[in-house]
Amino acid sequence: MSLDYVKFTPGFGKFMPKEYRDMVEHGPFGKKVSVSQVGTFKEILEEHPMCAGCAMTLFIRLAMVAFPNAEDTITVGTAGCGRLAISQAAIPFVYGNYGDQNGVASGLTRGLRLRFGDRPKDVVVMAGDGGMADIGFAQTLHSWFRKEKFTTIMLDNEVYGNTGGQESGMTNRNQVLKMAPLGKKFEKMDMLGMAKVSGCAYVATVVPNNPRRVESVIKKAVLVAREIGPSYIQAYTSCNIEYAIPTDKVMEDAKTVETDRYKFTEYITDEAKEYLSQLYGYKEYLPKPAAAVEKQ
Amino acid sequence: MYLVANIETEICAATSCKLCTQYCPEANTILYDNEAGQDKGFKYGAAYVAVDRCKGCAQCVWVCDNMAKHNAIKMEMIDQIGDTALTENVTYGEKTSSAVLANPVRGQG
């Protein structure tokens, strides 16, 4: 939780693995890094056991690069594929019981604010659609209604990928899966609508098909959650195993799904717009000049 | 044996789009060397693959062929790839990284 926690004790550096030394000396801590610079610095995400070509892994990797202050960030997760990679990064990871990740994050955020005052410590929940929309649904929604100031990211692969392919609340209607042979009988849950109704200050949908957009969305969501209120990102991260997508066609699928039914959307409250434009220089949210408003 | 991605330095250094580094699902796998093409007269650097981290998904191949349209990446068998980058031989510098190439099967030398 500070720049120092990753550094090794003086004299012990030479005994540390190369990856660790690289991370301390050439990692993103204390610097401003962007997605366009990847490949030239040591990323905080390390090797992990997730499947080859997994779009969720790509999203998590981009998220780890996009955190505005990686050294002051804690991730919270729960059971699901995502935690296999999120836990392999050089930032603290808290593993909640299945479904209580938003409850854990609520306590954590409040505790950090008590302990560190106005020094921003970002809490980011990253969990799957099962953990968030089915089993952790109540805790997720309640944390939004309570206006808990942290970011919630749903890694929406539209299936229980880790347990053999059962339908989740976020699976599309009529979708046939290994453990849903007759097809799903209900519509995909409208978590975006619920996030807006329950008072999230920033809500966005994104597909990892566009790395720079993923970066921008995550930066905004984390910054808004520092001061204004809860933020929610819903990311389409296909499961190439359960949906039988060849690994080299994962990005093609992402592109098709993005144009078809997972378009980029962004909802931001006026208060959050003002905050981002005043404090962090987001020019697109600056109030329009009076002349331009009159013309409309 | 298994397939890993291999990037053609000459094609990559002529364009330098960096898309494959951004789309690789594995962290620290497709890296970027700002000086890779300079000895051959190219203005930009080139991407290279730390093959010990590559899981062989070939997403970079699709991105290079269809999004960038450079066709610089091919999947090749690990024992037929020749000298290539390994994580233990990668060094990071100021806004770049570079690797001493080694044979992935026999090791360095």
d(CA B107, CA B1): 16
Does residue B107 lie in a domain region? no
Is residue B89 included in any domain, yes or no?
A: yes
Asked whether A131 and A99 are in contact (CB, 8 A), the reply is: yes
- Which residue range forms the structural domain that includes residue A232? 48-295
Identify whether B45 is part of a domain.
yes
Q: Which of A36, A43, A47 to mutate to test the interface with B (most CBs of B within 10 A)?
A: A47
In a domain? residue A185: yes
Asked whether residue B106 is assigned to any structural domain, the reply reads no
Burial code of A69-92, b = ≥16 C-beta within 10 A, e = fewer?
A: bbbbbbbbbbbbbbbbbbebbbbe
Task: Pull the structure tokens for residue A280.
Answer: 């962090």
| CATH at residue A258 | 3.40.50.970
How many whole angstroms from its chain centre is CA A128? 10
Residue written as token pair 């392999």: A88
| pLDDT attached to residue A199 | 95
Nearest to A40 among B27, B57, B96 (CB): B96
Is residue A119, in this structure, part of any structural domain at all? yes
CB A70 within 8 Å of CB A28: yes
| pLDDT score of A10 more than 90 | no
Inform me whether the pLDDT recorded for A258 exceeds 90: yes
Query: What's the pLDDT score for residue A289?
Result: 77
Q: How does DSSP assign A109-143, residue by residue?
A: HHHHHHHHTTS--EEEEEEEHIIIIITTHHHHHHH
Least confident segment among A92-106, B36-50, B73-87: B36-50
Q: What is the pLDDT of residue A262?
A: 96
- For chain B, the domain total comes to 1
CB contact B58 to A (< 8 Å): yes
Examine the pLDDT at B68 and tell me if it is beyond 60: yes
A202-251 pLDDT, tens per residue?
999 999 999 999 999 999 999 999 999 999 999 999 999 999 999 999 99
pLDDT for residue A88: 94
The pLDDT tens digits of the residues spanning A117-142 come to 878 899 999 999 999 999 999 999 99
C-beta of residue A35 within 8 angstroms of C-beta of residue B32: no
> Distance between terminal CA atoms of chain A?
47
d(CA A133, CA A99): 9
- Asked if the C-beta of A53 comes within 8 angstroms of chain B's C-beta atoms, the answer is yes
Question: SS3 helix, strand, coil % of chain A, rounded to 5?
Answer: 45, 15, 40
The answer to whether residue B109 is domain-embedded is no
* A15-63: pLDDT as tens digits: 999 999 999 889 999 888 999 999 999 999 999 999 999 999 999 999 9
A125: in domain: yes
Q: What is the pTM of this model?
A: 0.95
Dihedral pair phi/psi, residue A247, rounded to 5° = -60, -30
Please check whether residue A46 touches B, CB under 8 A.
Answer: yes
Q: For residue A63, what are the contacts with CB-CB under 8 A and spacing of at least 6?
A: A124, A126, A153, A214, A218
Predicted-assembly ipTM surpassing the 0.90 threshold: yes
| Structural domain count of chain A | 1
- Host H or E run for residue A198: none
Q: What is the crossing angle of helices A101-116 and A137-145, to 10°?
A: 40
Q: How far apart are CA B93 and CA A11, in angstroms?
A: 22
Per-residue pLDDT, averaged over B10-23, amounts to 92
pLDDT value of residue A291: 64
Cα→Cα distances A94→A75, A79, A97, A171, Å: 6, 11, 10, 27
Q: Is A268 helix (H, G, I), strand (E, B) or coil?
A: strand
Alpha-carbon span A125 to A104, nearest angstrom: 9
By Cβ distance, the residue of A26, A39, A46 closest to B30 is A39
- Does residue B107 surpass a pLDDT of 70? no
Closest residue in B to A65 (Cα–Cα): B27
Find chain A residues with C-beta within 8 A of B96's C-beta. 40
Residues A170 and A156: their CA atoms lie apart, in Å, by: 7
**What is the residue-wise DSSP string for chain B?**
--EEEEE-HHHHHHH---HHHHH-SSTTSEEEETTTTGGGT-SS-EEEEBTTT-----HHHHIIIIII----EEEEEGGGS-SBB-GGGEEEETTEEEE--BBTTTB--
Q: Tell me the pLDDT of chain B averaged across its residues.
A: 91
Domain around B45: 3-99
CATH of the domain at B78: 3.30.70
- The stretch B55-83 carries a mean pLDDT of 95
Q: What is the mean pLDDT of residues B52-72?
A: 96
Q: What pLDDT, on a 0 to 100 scale, did the predictor assign at position A294?
A: 60
Confidence of residue A265 (pLDDT cuts 50, 70, 90): very high
Q: Which of A61, A210, A238, A255 is best to mutate for the B interface (most B CBs within 10 A)?
A: A61
Query: Is A253's Cβ below 8 Å from some Cβ in B?
Result: no
pLDDT tens by residue, A77-112: 999 999 999 999 999 999 989 999 999 999 999 999
Question: A293 falls in which pLDDT band (50, 70, 90)?
Answer: low
Max mean pLDDT among A171-175, B39-43, B86-90 falls in A171-175
